[in-house]
Amino acid sequence: MSLPIRGDFRLRKADFADLPAVYRVCLQTGDAGKDATAREDDPDALGHMFIGPYLVLEPDFAFVLEGPRGVAGYVMGALNTPDFYLRMERDWLSEVRKRIPDPGPDESRWRGSDWIRHRIHNPPYLYPPALHAFPSHGHIDFLPEARGVGWGRRGFQHLMNALAEAGSPGMHLDVSPQNDPAIAFYEKLGFAPVLSDDMPAGSLTMARRF
Ligand SMILES: CC(C)(COP(=O)(O)OP(=O)(O)OC[C@H]1O[C@@H](n2cnc3c(N)ncnc32)[C@H](O)[C@@H]1OP(=O)(O)O)[C@@H](O)C(=O)NCCC(=O)NCCS
């Protein structure tokens, strides 16, 4: 499967040397698609949860978008969600937790990155029966300089092709209900909300078959 190149940008497989850059992109897109730098007091905590485990544990489905100023985005996924969550718990979060204390469940006391610190210790690991027809899942985040010129579609299509070639029948993703641009983007790519009593209130999961 050839990787797209256009203009000054190209999509390529991610490697471990990309970890600092993808953590940075994760932070700069971590507030429902907007820059979360001012909100977080730990610049790495979001990356520990949402991007590090994908690059390290699912390298066949981890891609970065490289532009003239370096990594400008990523698209990453997990082929088999329940298997990935088992490995994320055993091989990733168990180590991360040794360095990051749990601030506890009282949200009124949370400051800065406490919400994500708590989540690192209490991951939701959402995979109810309503998602079983869509066993893969994924993430995409681009910096503003890379948006609006078709790279999102090309990148996500590349990920979907890789997952489908590996045998997956479909994928799901979580998106903030406040992130209207991303919801519009996913709808354009054929994703629809998963409407089921299985899904937690206040979150939005979208899915599509391949
Ligand atoms: C969401 C995101 C990945 C989209 O990537 P992109 O490169 O800007 O999107 P593209 O240019 O490839 O657009 C693909 C399609 O989605 C549509 N689309 C993209 N952004 C849109 C928006 N804000 N409103 C409506 N439609 C939109 C485009 O019109 C296009 O449709 P077409 O292919 O039928 O012409 C990118 O904007 C981004 O990284 N945003 C910030 C991080 C984020 O929110 N990530 C998702 C977290 S769940």
What confidence score (pLDDT) does residue 7 get?
A: 77
Q: Which atom of ligand 1 is nearest to the CA of 155?
A: 12
What confidence score (pLDDT) does residue 120 get?
A: 98
What structural domains does the chain harbor? 5-173 (3.40.630.30)
Q: Is the CB of 169 under 6 A from ligand 1?
A: no
Quote the pTM value: 0.96
Smallest CA-to-CA distance from 54 within 97, 24, 93 is with 93
Among protein residues, the one with the nearest Cα to ligand 1's atom 15 is 185
Q: Is the CB of 34 under 6 A from ligand 1?
A: no
What confidence score (pLDDT) does residue 67 get?
A: 95
Q: Which residues of the chain have pLDDT under 50?
A: none
Pocket residue to mutate for ligand 1, from 185, 188, 204, 208, most atoms within 8 A of Cβ = 185
Each residue of 160-191: pLDDT tens digit?
A: 999 999 999 999 999 999 999 999 999 999 99
